[in-house]
């Protein structure tokens, strides 16, 4: 198999070819990883981008996303309203001090109110003044044009809104909003020159075909950054007892997404530690980006373990998205 060479020569995989490769049991997962690594190395060398999340508002959500511990269906709820601006800015300081390139401000809920967008925009302005080099990603839910304009003006670089799953499987995951609404939010951000970040959650009962469809949907939408979450089942959620991933299955998924989206930032997101386990370091052969620190309501491993993992693999942190501090 030499798909990487073919892709590098400009001949992209078709959906049916990707499905054949992904589902062919005679193709070893490590062979797929090897092909994906050649692409990763070509476009990103040995660099690893770092991202950090702040859960700026938790719970209080009317939506019924089956994977989410903040959904309306959760009996035991962790919830708090939008945190103080100081707390959001403190998170930015931590990101800056740890040389983390992108700081992601996340709010639970269907989408932000106008007031919430103003609040986040004001806070981002302050952060950007202190740390112009720090990239800011906002993840606030379904958003409108006016929201995108305000966020862009404030200095938001990127907006995350995951497609989460395939169009075909979407209604099994959530019934309170549509797949199209998700696509529309990504398109709104693109229209206003905010870098689109959109990814998936694997392991929610979707089929192999659904995963191939997800990889191509993200190619179609032209997401700059593709976070791949592996379901970390949370008790009390619809998918709380799901247990269908193995570390090797996760590797195969990552390789599939790289082969379909060779030039994109592929980021391993939530569920990395519990699903990839001992293969976390190997996953860097395919992905060029990770989250460090905790996720929204589940814990990550200590930062030092991530920094050591990157070093042990002979990889290095990608500081390219940092520009020098402004000298006074």
Q: What is the DSSP letter of 55?
A: E
> 65 vs 214, which CB is nearer to ligand SF4?
65
- Residue 202 annotated as lining a ligand binding site: no
Query: What residues form DSSP beta bridges with 48?
Result: 317
In whole angstroms, the minimum distance from the beta carbon of 61 to ligand SF4 comes to 3
In whole angstroms, the minimum distance from the beta carbon of 316 to ligand SF4 comes to 33
DSSP H or E stretch at residue 112: none
First CA to last CA across the chain, in angstroms? Answer: 55
In whole angstroms, the minimum distance from the beta carbon of 178 to ligand SF4 comes to 13
Give yes or no for a contact between 250 and 206, defined as CB atoms under 8 angstroms apart: no
Tell me if 110 contacts ligand SF4 by CB under 6 A: yes
d(CA 181, CA 300): 30
In whole angstroms, the minimum distance from the beta carbon of 182 to ligand SF4 comes to 10
In whole angstroms, the minimum distance from the beta carbon of 30 to ligand SF4 comes to 33
- Residue 250 annotated as lining a ligand binding site: no
In whole angstroms, the minimum distance from the beta carbon of 162 to ligand SF4 comes to 9
Tell me if 259 contacts ligand SF4 by CB under 6 A: no
Cβ count within 10 A of residue 189: 26
Tell me if 70 contacts ligand SF4 by CB under 6 A: yes
Q: Of 65, 82, 124, 217, which lies in the binding site for ligand SF4, with binding defined by CB under 6 A?
A: 65
- Residue 197 annotated as lining a ligand binding site: yes
Query: What residues form DSSP beta bridges with 281?
Result: none
In whole angstroms, the minimum distance from the beta carbon of 164 to ligand SF4 comes to 8
Tell which positions 115-144 bind ligand SF4, by CB under 6 A: 141
Residue 290 tokens read as 């990770």
Q: Which stretch binds ligand SF4 (CB under 6 A): 103-111, 143-151, 178-186, 266-274?
A: 103-111
Give yes or no for a contact between 229 and 274, defined as CB atoms under 8 angstroms apart: no
Q: Of 38, 108, 123, 188, which lies in the binding site for ligand SF4, with binding defined by CB under 6 A?
A: 108
- Residue 139 annotated as lining a ligand binding site: no
Nearest of 206, 189, 254, 184 to residue 226 by alpha carbon = 254
Q: Which residue has the tokens 């620190």?
A: 293
CA 206 vs CA 3, 24, 128, 284: distances in Å: 26, 18, 40, 24
> 37 vs 295, which CB is nearer to ligand SF4?
295
Residues with Cβ within 8 Å of 285's Cβ and at least 6 positions away in sequence, in order, are 33, 36, 37, 40, 313
- Residue 267 annotated as lining a ligand binding site: yes
Within the chain, residue ranges assigned H as helices are 3-8, 15-23, 29-44, 85-97, 114-130, 145-154, 170-173, 179-191, 208-221, 247-260, 272-276, 280-283, 303-312
Tell me if 71 contacts ligand SF4 by CB under 6 A: yes
d(CA 279, CA 309): 11
Tell which positions 183-242 bind ligand SF4, by CB under 6 A: none
In whole angstroms, the minimum distance from the beta carbon of 41 to ligand SF4 comes to 34
d(CA 124, CA 129): 8
Tell which positions 45-64 bind ligand SF4, by CB under 6 A: 61, 63
Tell me if 79 contacts ligand SF4 by CB under 6 A: no
Per the annotation, where are the binding residues for [2Fe-2S] cluster? 104, 137, 197, 267
Per the annotation, where are the binding residues? 61, 65, 68, 104, 137, 197, 267
Tell me which residues touch ligand SF4 (CB under 6 A). 61, 63, 65, 68, 70-71, 108-110, 141
Per the annotation, where are the binding residues for [4Fe-4S] cluster? 61, 65, 68
């Amino acid at each position: 198999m030499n798909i990487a060479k073919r892709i590098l020569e400009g001949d992209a995989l078709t959906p049916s070819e990707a499905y054949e490769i992904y589902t062919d049991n005679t193709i070893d997962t490590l062979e797929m990883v090897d092909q994906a690594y050649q692409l990763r190395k070509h476009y990103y060398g040995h660099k690893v981008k770092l991202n950090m999340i702040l859960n700026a508002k938790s719970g209080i959500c009317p939506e019924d996303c089956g994977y989410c511990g903040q959904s309306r269906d959760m009996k035991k709820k962790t919830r708090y309203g939008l945190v103080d601006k100081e707390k959001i800015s403190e998170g930015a300081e931590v990101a800056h001090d740890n040389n983390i390139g992108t700081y992601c401000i996340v709010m639970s809920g269907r989408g932000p109110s106008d007031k919430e967008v103003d609040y986040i925009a004001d806070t981002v302005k302050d952060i950007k003044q202190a740390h112009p080099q720090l990239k800011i990603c906002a993840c606030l839910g379904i958003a409108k044009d006016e929201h995108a304009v305000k966020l862009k003006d404030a200095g938001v670089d990127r907006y995350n809104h995951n497609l989460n799953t395939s169009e075909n499987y979407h209604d099994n995951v959530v019934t309170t909003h549509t797949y199209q609404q998700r696509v529309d939010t990504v398109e709104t951000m693109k229209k206003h020159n905010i870098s689109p970040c959109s990814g998936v959650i694997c392991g929610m009962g979707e089929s192999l075909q659904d995963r191939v469809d997800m990889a191509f949907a993200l190619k179609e939408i032209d997401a700059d950054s593709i976070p791949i979450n592996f379901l970390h089942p949370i008790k009390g959620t619809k998918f709380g007892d799901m247990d269908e991933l193995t570390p090797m299955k996760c590797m195969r998924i990552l390789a599939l997404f790289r082969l379909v989206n060779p030039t994109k930032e592929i980021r391993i997101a939530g569920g990395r530690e519990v699903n990839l386990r001992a293969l976390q370091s190997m996953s860097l052969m395919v992905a060029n980006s990770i989250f460090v620190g905790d996720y929204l309501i589940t814990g990550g491993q200590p930062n030092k373990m991530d920094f050591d993992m990157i070093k042990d693999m002979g990889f290095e942190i990608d500081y390219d998205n940092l520009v020098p501090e402004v000298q006074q």
